[in-house]
Structure 1
């Protein structure tokens, strides 16, 4: 399916139980509702309600959204549950169910109460595990009767590297040569943070399985594909290492109860260890694995050969840069996104049968949002997705759409916003 080749793909190519949906995170859509002692505003609720109506009109059957930890438990274990936060999410969940949309709820998507950072350094401290368990317990208590699909933590590998290795995410901890931060240790702290997150995931998962709600719970990993830059043994081994240090880092313990062998080999005593009790807690603990797949990276060996900062890897992704009003029509006519989705779904169907950091600088999603008025305007890809879900389309002629190339997005949950 190269170039301008026509694609034969339709909704009925997928099993009946295969859910197509949309996804957002609380950081992307809710706003800083507590800023300057600000309470919940009419816009906080309105934006979600409008999103739900638009998803319903598209025929979407699933919506993955995240809970804002600070909205539910502003002070963690030191404070009380915020009733307004519970009401906020109850309205979202009830509206989704009313529209026939299955809620997929992520409990932790990068953000947490700042008080936990000030109090004991958040995820660098094992106490954060118990803080997260309280969040999970609260979510199950108030939402578990209607939410049957739970995600404990979103992309712990992406968050850990960005927040504690390169220092791009808060709390912005790192050390040279990975980044220039006021404090941190890029060689050690990411390992500690991930260890605490994985144990928190295990404890929250066990807690859910001990309830009577009968749903499913899992974890989501940032899952890039790694290909060797050249067809040499060294670069192929580098690709395997990259996979182990990024994806195996999150998933291996769920199967084997421990980190990948490659990590033990290269990190030695720096790598935290699981006790026997912890291994038993973690192995086979989740019901599903979520994958956020964006692109492919090319890997080059830098252990046995010299590397420069250029040419070692490359990454491409599809998003739209923020533009002036004069170029809105260009965003709305997003034929590149249609080509990407149709190609991706075609290969996904074949296999079955056989963005935070940049804030508002780039635009993802099926709708254009006017940042001043919050007016939504559907893009061409929104109409295509609706036609696809309604099974009204079985042939995508990329020549007719402009024959352009594209490169990115989540597999089933398309960003909406």
Structure 2
């Protein structure tokens, strides 16, 4: 019986290995895009460099290190702020077609608002990265918001708890389209809005760490029964405002997808 079982396992493994070896690019449609992605807070580092402002992840990981599995922060991370050229070289070596980056709102608008000043060093960083990717034959996909809200907007009016966020997000998105849209043709407005809402306002495990006290005594305040709905509503309105700007002012002139 043992011999039969071993033979069966070997046969099963051989079958999987054979089918895996047969899987290659020709197994996919000709227009299938192979790529990879990162988010700014998890990738860039450079938290205090190049004029970047503080975001809610900077604050949260310092204030509540116990909520992070390894108690780490993104202050340095994998140092993509300095090492992006090496990373692009790896992507080219891997023969990737595309790369999805996210733009750090607080790196290009430290105060969260156009009126607070545009950080030209931040704009230059993304221009350089985009140009490096394109020079190596890698198409760029850009996410406008991957959860790293400028701390200034969180402090001023509660971030996505307030309808004011819709106007600030619209202006920030338009700045991205204006600065990078001549080369970036694929845009994602908001990364995983459901996760941002649930983790940040239902269970309090992601910034801003809000939830009902009966659910988690370590939360910074909040109401798990109402706040997630407000946040989700404002995320949808912010998305819609960005899309409206995109379609009316930039889609045709920049030949966006």
TM range (shorter): 0.7 to 0.9
Q: Secondary structure at the match of 1:208?
A: helix
Deviation string, structure 1 residues 79-118 (Cα, Å, up to 9, x no partner): 0110000000000000000000000000100101100000
For the residues of structure 1 that align with 2:203 and 2:190, how far apart are their CA atoms? Answer: 20
**Aligned length, in residue pairs:** 213
Q: Secondary structure at the match of 2:189?
A: strand
Report if aligned partners of 1:29, 1:47 keep a CA contact under 8 Å in 2: no
Which residue of the other structure, out of 103, 110, 114, is the alignment partner of 1:67? 103
Which residue of the other structure, out of 165, 176, 199, is the alignment partner of 1:128? 165
* CA drift at 1:17: 1.1
* CA drift at 1:182: 3.2
Residue 155 of structure 1 corresponds to 192
For the residues of structure 2 that align with 1:148 and 1:72, how far apart are their CA atoms? Answer: 19
Greater helix proportion? 2
Moved over 6 A (4+): none
Greater strand proportion? 1
For the residues of structure 2 that align with 1:179 and 1:161, how far apart are their CA atoms? Answer: 13
Deviation string, structure 1 residues 101-156 (Cα, Å, up to 9, x no partner): 00000010010110000000000000001111111110011100000000000000
Residue 130 of structure 2 corresponds to 93
Residue 23 of structure 1 corresponds to 37
Q: Which has the higher contact order (CA 8 A, sep 6+)?
A: 1
- In the TM superposition, 1:27-176 aligns within 5 A as 27-34=41-48, 44-77=80-113, 78-176=115-213
- In the TM superposition, 1:112-261 aligns within 5 A as 112-180=149-217, 181-210=219-248, 211=250, 212-216=253-257
Report if aligned partners of 2:88, 2:133 keep a CA contact under 8 Å in 1: yes
TM-score (norm 2): 0.78
Structure 1 unaligned regions, length at least 5: 217-417
For the residues of structure 1 that align with 2:52 and 2:123, how far apart are their CA atoms? Answer: 17
